[in-house]
Amino acid sequence: MACARPAVIADEGTVIRRGEVAIATGHGHMTVRRSGNRLVTRTLAQPAPSGCMPSVDPMFASLAEACEGRVLGIVLSGMGRDGLEGANAIIEAGGAVLAQDPDTSAVWGMPGAVTKAGLSHKVAPPEELAEAIMHMAKGLAATERI
């Protein structure tokens, strides 16, 4: 439990819970759908445009739809363009995307593709991204209370 949060493998039908980390199974793309007031995972096996399995693109796109754009996508170090199409779906739905900077990335492929496409609201080291996430969460919490 390196992140001080319980983690679950998000198989078919796993309910997304506050304070819990859901991890894709590895044998399919983790997607999310709304079921009443809950978010529930699905696993899809069809090829993604990026060629990755699992790919973050279907997950980001499904979250953008299920959450009506109220999504913050984070793209960390990784190879290729995976995340670019999903980040675009998040932005088009009204959400935001943060990306890891090239200096702290082992491979700047994924965050680089998103950033070069102009989709990143912030490009920074992970520590600064964490601060930005907390700042955004506080702002959202204040807005929701009104």
pLDDT in tens, 39-66: 999 999 988 888 888 999 999 999 999 9
Task: Judge whether 40 lies within some domain.
Answer: yes
Task: Judge whether 1 lies within some domain.
Answer: no
Task: Judge whether 118 lies within some domain.
Answer: yes
What pLDDT shows up at residue 4? 85
pTM tops 0.85 = yes
Round to whole Å and give the CA distance between 17 and 26: 20
Of the candidates 79, 60, 85, 81, the one whose C-alpha atom is nearest the C-alpha of residue 71 is 60
Q: What's the Cα-to-Cα distance from 74 to each of 31, 37, 48, 108, rounded to whole Å?
A: 16, 24, 19, 13
For residue 121, give its domain range.
7-145
Instruction: Give ∠ CA 128-25-48 in degrees, rounded to 5.
Output: 80
Task: Judge whether 82 lies within some domain.
Answer: yes
CATH number (domain holding residue 29): 3.40.50.180
Q: What's the Cα-to-Cα distance from 63 to each of 41, 79, 94, 96, rounded to whole Å?
A: 10, 22, 12, 12
pLDDT in tens, 93-145: 999 999 999 999 999 999 999 999 999 999 999 999 999 999 998 876 655 54
Round to whole Å and give the CA distance between 59 and 131: 24
Beta-sheet pairing, 96-100 with 122-124 = parallel
Please state the domain count of the chain. 1
What pLDDT shows up at residue 120? 97
Task: Judge whether 2 lies within some domain.
Answer: no
